[in-house]
Amino acid sequence: MTPTAPVLTDYGSKRDLAGPVAVPRYVFVEHTLAPGHAVPFRSDPLHHRTFVVVDGEVALELRDGSTAGRYRRLEGWHAPAGSEYRFTNRGPGTAVLLEAGSVGERAATAASGEFPAISTYTVTKPWGHEIWYTQNLPDPGYAVKQIHMTAGHQSSLQSHRWKAETNHVVDGAATVLAGLTAPADPDERVDVSRLVTSVHPVGSGWTSPPGELHRVIARTDYTAIEVSTPELDDVIRWQDDTGRAHGRIAAEHAGGRP
C-alpha cells in the first residue's frame, strides 16, 4: 500500500493513508500540525470520526471557545455525526494526529454535544494485545484498533472474507508477508514461501483487502493503528503458532474493558 502524497495546508499537512482505491471503504488520514496551529472548524452531518494522537499534544476545541479535551500520544476521542469542532496543536513541537471514519451514506445521528474518549477495551493475544478504540460506538460503520506485537512473535497466517484493513506503524517496525489470494478451500495447505515480504517502519503501512493472505512478524516490538471495515470476527486462520481456530476467540476477550 502506497499512501498518497501529503497535501500542504495552512496549518501543516494531511496524508491519505488508505491509499488510492476505486471504492474507498473507510477514511484514514494523517494530520500534521505545526505548533500553535489549528484546523478550521468542521462538521459532518452523517459520519462519526475517531481521532488518535501519535505525537505531540492536541486540544479539541469548540465554537464557543471552550476546550473539550487535551490528548497526548495514543490518546484520542470520537466526534459524533453533526458535532462541530476543531483541533489545535498545543505542544511545543509538531503534532501528528490520525483520523478514521466511515464513508458513503450513513443514517444521520443528532450530535450529543459530547466527545467520548476512545475505548480502552483490550483483547489479549498470544503475540501481544489489541485495544479496540471504537468498541464504545454504536454501529459507526468502521473500526479502529491499536495493535501491539512483542518481538519474536508473529500473527496467524490469515485472510478475511469481507473485512478490509489498513495498518499504520507508529512504533518499531513490522515485517509483513502478503500478496497471494487465499484458496477457496479453508483446509487447503498454503505455501508460505510464495508470499512477498516487506518491512514497514514508523510512518508507513499496508492494506489487506478481502481474500488476501497476510501475516505480520515482529522482529522488534511494534505498534500500529489499524482502521478497517467493521467485521472484526471475520478471520480465517490458515496457520497459527498456538492452534487457534477461525473467527472470534472468546477467551481473548475475557479481560476486555469498555
Look up the pTM and report it: 0.94
Specify if 1 maps to a domain.
Answer: no
CA distance 169 to 51: 16
Are residues 133 and 80 part of one domain? no
Q: What is the pLDDT of residues 196-237, one digit of tens each?
A: 999 999 999 999 999 999 999 999 999 999 999 999 999 999
Are residues 242 and 126 part of one domain? yes
pLDDT at 117: 97
Are residues 239 and 130 part of one domain? yes
Structural domain harbouring 232: 122-253
Are residues 128 and 94 part of one domain? no
CATH code (residue 194): 2.60.120.10
Specify if 154 maps to a domain.
Answer: yes
Specify if 42 maps to a domain.
Answer: yes
Q: What is the pLDDT of residues 25-77, one digit of tens each?
A: 999 999 999 999 999 999 998 899 999 999 999 999 999 999 999 999 999 99
Are residues 150 and 208 part of one domain? yes
Domain count, the chain: 2
Task: Work out the pLDDT band at 108, boundaries 50, 70, 90.
Answer: low
